């Protein structure tokens, strides 16, 4: 996907000392103009300080955002009142450097839960970033720097970009573990130079999130910090998007960006070796289809079978059976899908195992990308989610995350 830079935004990343080595660990996005902004946040009850701070800012009817600060190294989660003070102080440091008020600045944090922010390092980083932005000549390089600076256990930066009719939408995200869809599921900053009303922007983000970030699973754990922010500054200079067709086109373009970012997270899942598409069809309603898909996508038994390239399809049906949704075993059908999501091997029909080519199934599952399609035979609803395998490396990464 080609990187396009939206007008009126500057972004950069640098190292300030939040990480013990020289890796970039802090990023700053600044808009030349106040932005209409929408956000979706974790539903985890243990919300991090920056989540609470951002939610409070965006709840103000006159919110006009100029900047987003994001750091790694510390999640600033479960840090009590001092964590909120640090989030506000971080916003103030940014505001002082770019010439706005703290209420014009949002903050994001990721890293170890319970670890207070190193405010001396934060302030150093903000000063450096502000200086970098004032001298920036290559906006595309800035997006790459920022995508790198927000990484934790990610192995590569994640960026996506599309051009709509007279505007650009570009976003970065981070995430590799603690990924389970329930409003966001990681950190993402998305910027557009389109002019669009707040109500339409919010609706577009919710629609796009439902089709992307809420359809991914790495390990079934939901973070305390999950946030997706969408900023629109209108700097493209076009007319405000108000018509239903215009907003629908914008939503489709935004969804394309969000799906690319979401899938990049799964492909880079901690220890992941396989990208797996799960389709659940024939459900009575979308909620039921999604509930079953989630049960399958988060099952440790299913995911370890994915890792071992073992077509042990009984684990998939078992997960569907305990999902809490009523199913009729005599109606279910199951297929193994190829990398293009096309049925490749028919495994089960009308609840009865078929005499399929198991060596061929193993060979397909040994490749990097494939999927399963489960048809419940009960109704018209269908969903698709993206997950990965569960490998030894996942345990290694998370067994020593702090040590």
Q: Residue 25: its pLDDT value, please? A: 96
Positive/negative CA dihedral, 105, 151, 218, 204: positive
Does 1 have pLDDT greater than 80?
A: no
Q: Of the candidates 44, 86, 59, which has an alpha carbon nearest to the alpha carbon of residue 227? A: 44
* 296's tokens: 């399958």
* 149's tokens: 């600076």
What is the pTM assigned to this prediction? 0.93
Share of the chain above pLDDT 90, in %: 83
Distance from C-alpha of 299 to C-alpha of 306, rounded to nearest angstrom: 11
Q: Residue 180: its pLDDT value, please? A: 65
Q: Residue 94: its pLDDT value, please? A: 98
Q: Residue 286: its pLDDT value, please? A: 96
Tokens 């108000």 belong to 242
* 144's tokens: 């790459």
Does 44 have pLDDT greater than 90?
A: no
Which uninterrupted H or E stretch holds 232? strand 227-232
Query: What are phi and psi for residue 142, nearest 5 degrees?
Result: -65, -40
List pLDDT tens digits, range 239-271. 999 999 999 999 999 999 999 999 999 888 777
* 374's tokens: 């489960």
Q: Residue 271: its pLDDT value, please? A: 75
The band of 178, judged by pLDDT with boundaries at 50, 70 and 90, is low
Q: Residue 395: its pLDDT value, please? A: 79
Does 149 have pLDDT greater than 60?
A: yes
Q: Residue 396: its pLDDT value, please? A: 80
- Residues 12 and 136 sit within 8 Å (Cβ to Cβ): yes
CATH code of 9-267, in short, is 3.60.70.12
CATH code of 275-399, in short, is 3.10.20.340
Q: Of the candidates 352, 252, 302, which has an alpha carbon nearest to the alpha carbon of residue 293? A: 302
Which residues of the chain form CATH 3.10.20.340? 275-399
Which residues of the chain form CATH 3.60.70.12? 9-267
The band of 300, judged by pLDDT with boundaries at 50, 70 and 90, is very high
> What would you measure as the largest C-alpha separation in the chain, in angstroms?
69
* 195's tokens: 């002019």
The band of 90, judged by pLDDT with boundaries at 50, 70 and 90, is very high
Min mean pLDDT across 101-110, 152-161, 279-288 is at: 152-161
DSSP 149-212: HT-SS-SS-EEEEEE-SS-EEEEEEE-SSS---SS--SEEEEEE-----HHHHHHHHHHHHHTT
DSSP 345-398: EEEEETTEE----HHHHHHHHTSSEEEEEEE-SS-SEEEEEEEE---HHHHHHH
Q: Tell me the helix, strand and coil percentages in the chain, rounded to 5.
A: 35, 25, 40
Angle at 206 between CA 294 and CA 325, to 5 degrees: 25
Q: Which residues are part of the catalytic machinery?
A: 185
Distance from C-alpha of 190 to C-alpha of 170, rounded to nearest angstrom: 6
Neighbours of 236 (CB within 10 A): 20
- Residues 276 and 371 sit within 8 Å (Cβ to Cβ): yes
Query: Hey, is 353 helix, strand or coil?
Result: strand
Q: Of the candidates 169, 33, 31, 47, which has an alpha carbon nearest to the alpha carbon of residue 108? A: 47
Min mean pLDDT across 209-223, 234-248, 352-366 is at: 209-223
The band of 177, judged by pLDDT with boundaries at 50, 70 and 90, is low
* 8's tokens: 């009126």
Does 60 have pLDDT greater than 70?
A: yes
Query: What are phi and psi for residue 213, nearest 5 degrees?
Result: -65, -25
Does 106 have pLDDT greater than 90?
A: yes
H and E: helices and strands count for the chain = 11, 14
In Å, what is the CA distance from 372 to each residue of 40, 169, 359, 365, 369? 29, 32, 17, 10, 11
DSSP 201-213: HHHHHHHHHHTTG
Q: Of the candidates 258, 36, 261, 250, which has an alpha carbon nearest to the alpha carbon of residue 164? A: 250
Query: Hey, is 387 helix, strand or coil?
Result: strand
Distance from C-alpha of 153 to C-alpha of 298, rounded to nearest angstrom: 20
Distance from C-alpha of 379 to C-alpha of 47, rounded to nearest angstrom: 37
């Amino acid at each position: 996907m080609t990187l396009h830079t939206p007008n009126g935004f500057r972004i950069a990343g640098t190292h300030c000392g939040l990480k013990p080595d020289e890796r970039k660990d802090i990023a700053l996005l600044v808009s030349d103009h106040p932005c209409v902004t929408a956000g979706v946040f974790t539903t985890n009850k243990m919300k991090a300080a920056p989540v609470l701070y951002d939610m409070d800012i965006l709840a103000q009817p006159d919110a006009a955002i100029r900047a987003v600060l994001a750091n790694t190294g510390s999640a600033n989660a479960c840090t009590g009142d001092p964590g909120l003070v640090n989030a506000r102080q971080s916003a103030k440091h940014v505001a002082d450097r770019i010439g706005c008020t703290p209420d014009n600045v949002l903050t994001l944090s990721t890293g170890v839960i319970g670890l207070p922010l190193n405010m001396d390092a934060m302030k150093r980083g903000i000063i450096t970033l502000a200086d970098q932005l004032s001298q920036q000549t290559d906006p595309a390089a800035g997006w790459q720097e920022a995508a790198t600076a927000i990484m934790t256990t990610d192995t590569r930066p994640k960026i996506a970009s599309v051009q709509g009719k007279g505007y650009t939408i570009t976003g970065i995200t981070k995430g590799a573990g603690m990924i389970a869809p329930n409003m966001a599921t990681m950190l993402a900053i998305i910027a557009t130079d389109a002019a669009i009303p707040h109500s339409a922007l919010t609706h577009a983000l919710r629609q796009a999130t439902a089709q992307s970030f809420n359809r991914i699973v790495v390990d079934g754990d939901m973070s305390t910090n999950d946030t997706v922010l969408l900023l629109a500054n209108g700097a493209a200079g076009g007319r405000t998007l108000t018509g239903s067709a215009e907003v629908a086109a914008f939503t489709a373009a935004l969804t394309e960006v969000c799906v690319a970012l979401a899938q990049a997270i799964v492909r880079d899942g901690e220890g992941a070796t396989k990208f797996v598409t799960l389709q659940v069809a024939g459900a009575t309603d979308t909620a039921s289809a999604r509930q079953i898909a989630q049960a399958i996508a988060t099952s440790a038994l299913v995911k370890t079978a994915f890792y071992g390239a073992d077509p042990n399809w009984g684990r998939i049906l078992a997960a569907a059976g305990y999902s809490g949704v009523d199913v009729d075993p005599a109606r279910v059908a199951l297929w193994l899908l190829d990398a293009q999501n096309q049925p490749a091997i028919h495994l089960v029909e009308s609840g009865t195992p078929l005499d399929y080519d198991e060596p061929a199934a193993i060979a397909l599952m040994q490749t990097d990308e494939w999927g399963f399609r489960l048809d419940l035979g009960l109704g018209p609803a269908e969903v698709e989610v993206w997950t990965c395998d569960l490998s030894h490396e996942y345990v290694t990464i998370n067994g020593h995350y702090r040590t």
